[in-house]
Structure 1
Amino acid sequence: MNIQMTLTESEIQTATRLLQQADQRLGRVVEQVGRCTLSPRSEYTLFQYLLRSIIYQQLSGKAAGAIWARLCAHYPGRHLGPKRFLATAEARLRELGVSRSKIRAGQDLAEKVLTRKLPGRKKLNHLDDESIINAFTQVHGIGRWTVEMLLIFYLCRPDVLPAGDLGIRKGVMVIDQLDALPSPGEVLSRGAVWQPWSTVASWYLWQATAL
């Protein structure tokens, strides 16, 4: 299987130009927003990124950010890895603000990372998007949406359209001037014209909700 590459800055520029040509309505958003600033979250390991995603589920950004900061600060050198997470007493994690359900999810993630039941960072380069989604949704507490965010913001894969995401659906409603939110299926149909650069289109759809 061909290696799946991370979007480069030049590819993002090319994608933006082609999207403008393919979709005039999205093109108007591009003109208003300007350059796409999407880039991979290289400050995190794969484990850290996924654990952070679990922590942020169903919380406001401010509350989740505070818990994540306390959790990272708990570990020497701020190095939060699967072994250290598993070695931390549940009572201590609760003191740091992590809920019991998220502790269970984090422990399942850590165990699967350590036992190599999940693909490592290098192996991801040899897997297509659906294979990555299938692999990581085996972890308790990680669903398709979480892995789609991994594909976009951690791996910067070029052709990801999280059709069930509320922000994406709102973005389509804005650019198409709809009276109601489109269904995920309608988003997928609408997004056919954005392939193979759906990730860049998704980024602009999120920006469209703030215009």
Structure 2
Amino acid sequence: MPRHVRGFDVEQALAHLQRRDRRLAGWIRRVGPLEVPPGWRRPFDPVDALARAILFQQLSGKAASTIVGRVEAAIGSARPHADTLGRIDDAGLRACGVSGNKALALRDLARREQAGEIPSTRQMAWMHHDAIVEALVPIRGIGRWTVEMMLMFRLGRPDILPVDDLGIRKGAQRVDGGAAMPTPRELLARGERWGPYRTWASLYLWRIADFAEAGGVKTNRSQD
């Protein structure tokens, strides 16, 4: 397995998509160029990212940020890890606004980190994206979609297509002019022509969905 760098050649990805899919190419011209996700260049800590993903689940960005700030103050660190989370008990987490299920998820994350079950960024660089998904989805509160967002927005893997994402499916429906959104299975088959740059196609599908429904106003995504 070759070493994976964070990010990829977006101009090459764009040319590939425009060459392989005329319908998508038309929308790409309409939407215009995309910005490279800034997370590709930022320092990345998988445990910290997973802890924040857990805390942000099912909350607005403002509410989640408030809770994260309280947790950071309670543990005396901006990095929720096994050692720092050990500084606060479950009652303390609840006082910060963390639900019981999320507290259990954070404890499971910390336990797995201590057991060496969470790959480091260095280890992930040598892992296929499917292997990263397989390693992380056993964590309580972490599903495939959460890992896919990390792969796209933080690790910059080029060939990720989150087929269960509603925005992705809406964008694909808009591209093809369908009466209904494609099912995940249909989207998986539809996306074969976009490989090996399905991540860049996904970013465009989100923007196409925004363009159609929100007048082009960009919707922020997890880990964006």
TM-score, structure 1 normalization: 0.92
Give a deviation string over 1:140-195, Cα, whole Å, max 9, x none. Answer: 11111111111111111010001011111111111111111110000001101100
1:14 and 2:8 are equivalent in the alignment: no
List structure 1 segments (4+ residues) > 4 angstroms apart after TM superposition: none
- Cα contact 2:5–2:125 (8 A) shared by 1: yes
- Cα contact 1:6–1:158 (8 A) shared by 2: no
- Cα contact 1:12–1:36 (8 A) shared by 2: no
- Cα contact 1:36–1:200 (8 A) shared by 2: no
Change (3 A) 1:119 1:22: same
Change (3 A) 1:157 1:89: same
Deviation at 1:96? 1.2
TM-score, structure 2 normalization: 0.87
Match of 1:39 in 2: 37
Deviation at 1:86? 2.7
- Residue 106 of structure 1 aligns to which amino acid in structure 2? L
Structure 1 stretch 197-206 or stretch 52-61: which is displaced more? Answer: 52-61
Change (3 A) 1:199 1:96: same
Match of 1:175 in 2: 175
Structure 1 stretch 148-157 or stretch 74-83: which is displaced more? Answer: 74-83
- Cα contact 2:71–2:96 (8 A) shared by 1: yes
Gaps spanning 5+ residues in structure 2: where?
212-224
- Cα contact 2:74–2:88 (8 A) shared by 1: no
Give a deviation string over 1:121-152, Cα, whole Å, max 9, x none. Answer: 11001110111111001111111111111111
- Give the alignment of 1:160-199 within 5 angstroms: 160-199=160-199
> What is the percent sequence identity of the aligned residues?
37
User: How many angstroms apart in 1 are the aligned matches of 2:118 and 2:70?
Assistant: 27
Match of 1:23 in 2: 21
Aligned residues: 209
- Cα contact 1:71–1:96 (8 A) shared by 2: yes
Give a deviation string over 1:41-94, Cα, whole Å, max 9, x none. Answer: 325521111111111222223322322233234443534332111321111111
The alignment's C-alpha RMSD in Å is: 1.6
Change (3 A) 1:72 1:26: farther
- Residue 169 of structure 2 aligns to which amino acid in structure 1? R
- Cα contact 2:112–2:118 (8 A) shared by 1: yes
- Cα contact 1:5–1:125 (8 A) shared by 2: yes
Gaps spanning 5+ residues in structure 1: where?
none
Match of 1:55 in 2: 55
